[in-house]
Amino acid sequence: MTNGDKIRTMTDDELANFVATYLQCEDCWLVNNCVNCGDMTCFDNILSWLRSPVEDSHGCPHRCYYCFAPNVLHRDRETFHANVAPRPEWVEGVSGNGGKGK
pLDDT by residue for the chain (102 residues), tens only, comes to: 898 889 889 999 999 888 888 877 777 777 776 666 655 577 888 888 888 876 655 677 777 777 887 777 777 788 777 767 666 666 666 665 555 554
pLDDT value at residue 71? 79
What distance lies between CA 42 and its chain's CA centroid? 14
DSSP secondary structure code for residue 26 in this structure: G
Nearest CA among 61, 34, 60, 59 for reference residue 48: 34
pLDDT value at residue 12? 92
pLDDT value at residue 42? 79
DSSP secondary structure code for residue 97 in this structure: T
Contact 22, 30 (CB under 8 A): no
pTM: 0.49
